Chain A
Amino acid sequence: SAVISQKPSRDICQRGTSLTIQCQVDSQVTMMFWYRQQPGQSLTLIATANQGSEATYESGFVIDKFPISRPNLTFSTLTVSNMSPEDSSIYLCSVDRASRETQYFGPGTRLLVL
């Protein structure tokens, strides 16, 4: 498995502001992903963070709202822009280290937007 950390672990933000979430892995990985888990719900993939190129977004998610950076093989950021209360969720990063279609998750960032 991989050791994955996320910062911040939680935050309370005002609507209209933006928050950048960091994901750090203890070793180089090929694939990094960002998920959203709304209260009481399952996980939904936001995008795949590609190293050296633009992220690949899933249907319903756009770069202007969720800009993603992947400057190297161990780090990625997700920004939640112009937040509204509907953005209150847990945001999770994951990595595919074994290259066998198996993903390992970070501890998550709990976001509450007021």
Chain B
Amino acid sequence: GQQLNQSPQSMFIQEGEDVSMNCTSSSIFNTWLWYKQDPGEGPVLLIALYKAGELTSNGRLTAQFGITRKDSFLNISASIPSDVGIYFCAGPLVGGGSNYKLTFGKGTLLTVNP
């Protein structure tokens, strides 16, 4: 099946450092989504990517849709304590009906030390 391999599983960084995480798949995705989940909350959409090679920013966050359509990365610059949370990549399952069903990576747990 179509699975997303997300890495790293967890990160411990100092405030002000930059962060990079990525997702890869053996299958092609037409859309890449990045979500953040705070403790006790539902996932919040950070960035959506719809085109191979697309580079999109949202404040200190930057994400890119890999040119092969099989990977994506998310960068966070100048991290702050409120960046703490779990970051998930996701993409819609392709083929066999609706393209709206999302598959999720296992998440990257980010801890920022003040």
- Residue B70, interface by CB 8 Å: no
Return the chain A residue nearest B99 by Cβ. A101
**A100→B49 CA distance, assembly (Å):** 10
Residues of B within 8 A of A33 (CB): 100-102
Q: Interface stretch among B12-20, B38-46, B60-68?
A: B38-46
> A residues 5-56 with Cβ under 8 Å of B?
31, 33, 41-45, 48
Structural contact, B31 and A102, CB atoms closer than 8 A: yes
Interface of A: prevailing SS: strand
Q: Determine which of B40, B100, B106, B107 lies in contact with A96 in the assembled complex, contact meaning CB atoms within 8 Å.
A: B100
Interface of B: prevailing SS: loop
Structural contact, A105 and B42, CB atoms closer than 8 A: yes
| CB-based A-B contact count at 8 angstroms | 61
Structural contact, B33 and A102, CB atoms closer than 8 A: yes
Interface size for A (C-beta < 8 A) is: 24
Residues of B within 8 A of A43 (CB): 43, 88, 90, 102, 104
> B residues 45-90 with Cβ under 8 Å of A?
45, 48, 50, 88, 90
Q: Determine which of B42, B102, B107 lies in contact with A108 in the assembled complex, contact meaning CB atoms within 8 Å.
A: B42
Q: Determine which of A41, A102, A106, A108 lies in contact with B45 in the assembled complex, contact meaning CB atoms within 8 Å.
A: A102
Structural contact, A100 and B105, CB atoms closer than 8 A: no
- Residue B30, interface by CB 8 Å: yes
The residue among B35, B45, B100, B103 with the most chain A CB atoms within 10 A of its own CB is B100
Q: Determine which of A58, A101, A108 lies in contact with B31 in the assembled complex, contact meaning CB atoms within 8 Å.
A: A101
**A1→B45 CA distance, assembly (Å):** 9
Residue ranges of B at the interface with A (Cβ–Cβ < 8 Å): 30-31, 33, 35, 40-45, 48, 50, 88, 90, 92, 98-107
Closest 3 CB pairs of A and B: A105-B42, A101-B92, A101-B31
Known: A43-B90, A48-B101, A101-B92. 12 other contacts (CB 8 A): A1-B45, A41-B106, A42-B104, A42-B105, A42-B106, A43-B43, A45-B103, A58-B101, A92-B42, A101-B50, A105-B43, A105-B44
